A = this chain, B = another copy of it.
Amino acid sequence: MSFDPLQAWRLDEEPYYAPQAEELAAFEAAHALRLPVLLKGPTGCGKTRFVEHMAWRLNKPLVTVACHDDLSASDLVGRWLLDAQGTRWQDGPLTQAARYGALCYLDEVVEARADTTVVLHPLTDARRILPLTSCNELLHAHPDFQLVVSYNPGYQGMHKTLKPSTRQRFVGLEFSYPGAGQEAAIVAHEGLVDASLARQLVAVAEQTRRLKEHGLTEGASTRMLIHAASLTRHGLSPRVACLQAITCPLSDDPDLATALAAAVDASFAH
């Protein structure tokens, strides 16, 4: 077998993912058409894990980029680098994915600068091209290439948004936290704790999510519950583990901290 430039981006093991609804079939239909996909949902509800799982199911490498305010088009596309061997062109992660045929996942895409999202346009319509103006190449995307982006409308919507000419190129999938039973199963599986403790942790999370109406930016994610579960396996009581993994990171506001601590106390006696 020949050299695989995307080897580092392949997934060796099946990432654990518990399907919530029809999202597997929906993604596969979009993938069959190579339509770009937009994932919406709150922090830590499993969007990244879902993309990893789909990449594994479809047996495709997965190139992931965490977007931010300073992410520029050339961070995605590539640049001429001055290194020890002199100057050489270096494909950016988007170019690598388009050239060799990977899923390319842009996490929190609304955080990126405008030039970054516009560079996606010719890749996400019928043309499927990426003009590399700096090295004078018009790259036609590999047949396997597919773009996936995500964002959290509850948080990001306050600050930034995608412009319509970008949004309308994507098909969308909406995510939320799993149902209580399923979430407890995930926490038990990933946190290596018994079902009873997992259910108690999910009950804490549900209380924190209700605090969004009282000013909390985001409720506890499934990831936080797994953290709390794991800490109990290293000698912390469930209550202390929750304060450490959930209450303390979630908010700096004294009133919200008190409400969060009360949610913990309601589940776990001292």
Query: Footprint of B on A, CB under 8 Å?
Result: 8-9, 22, 25-26, 28-30, 32-33, 35, 38, 40, 43-44, 48, 64, 66-73, 75, 80-84, 86-90, 92-93, 107-108, 111, 113-115, 117-119, 121-122, 125, 131, 133-136, 138, 152-153, 155, 157, 161, 163-165, 167-174, 217-218, 220-221, 223-224, 227, 230-231, 234-236, 240-241, 244-245, 247-250, 252
Is the Cβ of A248 less than 8 Å from the Cβ of B83? Answer: no
Give complex CA distance A30, B215 in Å: 28
Residue of B nearest to A89 (CB): B83
Name the B residues within 8 Å of A80 (CB-CB): 81-83
In the complex, the count of this chain's copies comes to: 6
In the complex, the chain B residue whose C-beta lies closest to that of A226 is: B126
Across the A-B interface, the 9 shortest Cβ-Cβ residue pairs: A172-B248, A153-B252, A29-B234, A68-B118, A164-B218, A70-B115, A69-B114, A68-B115, A8-B138
Q: How far is the CB of A102 from chain B (nearest CB, A)?
A: 13
**Secondary structure dominating the interface of A:** mixed
CA of A82 to CA of B87, assembled, Å? 7
Instruction: Say yes or no: A75 contacts B164, CB within 8 Å.
Output: no
Give the Cβ gap from A35 to chain B, nearest Cβ, in Å.
Answer: 6
A70 interface neighbour in B29, B113, B163, Cβ under 8 Å: B113
Smallest CB–CB gap between A76 and chain B, Å? 9
Given contacts A80-B83, A87-B82, contact A249 B118 (CB under 8 A): no
Given A33-B234, A40-B248, A111-B118, list of 7 further CB < 8 A pairs? A25-B235, A26-B236, A66-B121, A68-B115, A83-B135, A171-B231, A171-B244
